[in-house]
Amino acid sequence: MNTQSSEQMQTEKTTPGVSYYLPGIPVEIENRSRRGPSTAVLVLIASSAILLLIGFVAFTIWLAQTQATTIAAVRDILIIALALESCIFGVVILLLLVMVIRLVNMLEFEIKPILEKTNETVSTLRGTTNFVSQNVVQPTIRTRAQIAGLRQAIKTLLGNPRNNIK
């Protein structure tokens, strides 16, 4: 029947990524764990980035030596662009400040009164609960307890009325 020893079956069951033995059917299980990019790909990407950086620096130095007026014009344009970007960031920061001020006002003048009204409602509800408990629930419980005691006393004195009917 089964020609494999239990040790062989145990090794097959615990070895990941190999065939597992089911009675009569060997099943291949693939190792589907996701790995990152291989080391060769990472080295290729890093060396390409370093070469691009070195090429950009060399090109910039060459332009500075041969095309000084063009570089100065590009520099001036970039300075103007950075100044405009700073102005835009200033406007955005002012808008954020206005939004924060509006949020604080909303918290102070809209949410705070809502919380105060909620607190008042909860205290009113607490008072109502105490009133109902003292004036409705406790008397009802006392009355039901007295009725139950009276029934038990009658049962004890007269016996069970259901047994008397027979």
Element holding 21 (H helix, E strand): strand 19-22
Residue 29 included in any domain:
yes
Specify the DSSP class assigned to residue 71.
H
CA torsion 157→158→163→166, rounded to 10°?
160
Name the more confident of 34 and 7: 34
Lowest mean pLDDT among 21-30, 76-85, 132-141, 148-157: 21-30
Angle, helices 39-66 vs 68-106, to 10°: value is 120
Number of domains in the chain: 1
Percent of the chain predicted with pLDDT > 70: 76
pLDDT of residue 65: 87
Residue 52 included in any domain:
no
Residue 47 included in any domain:
no
Residue 84 included in any domain:
no
Mean pLDDT of 40-51: 95
pLDDT tens string 6-30: 555 544 455 555 555 556 665 555 5
Main-chain phi, psi angles of 124, to 5 degrees: -65, -40
Name the more confident of 129 and 16: 129
Percent of the chain predicted with pLDDT > 90: 47
Residue 89 included in any domain:
no
Residue 54 included in any domain:
no
Position 157 pLDDT exceeds 60: yes
Count Cα neighbours of 20 within 13 Å in the Cβ-side half-sphere.
Answer: 10
Residue 39 included in any domain:
no
Element holding 156 (H helix, E strand): helix 138-158
pLDDT of residue 31: 57
Strand partners, 19: 28
Q: Which domain holds residue 5?
A: 1-33
Position 109 pLDDT exceeds 80: yes
> 4, 21 in Cβ contact below 8 A?
yes
Residue 1 included in any domain:
yes
pLDDT tens string 49-106: 999 999 999 998 888 888 888 888 888 999 999 999 999 999 999 999 999 999 999 9
According to DSSP H, which parts of 17-132 are helical? Answer: 39-66, 68-106, 112-132
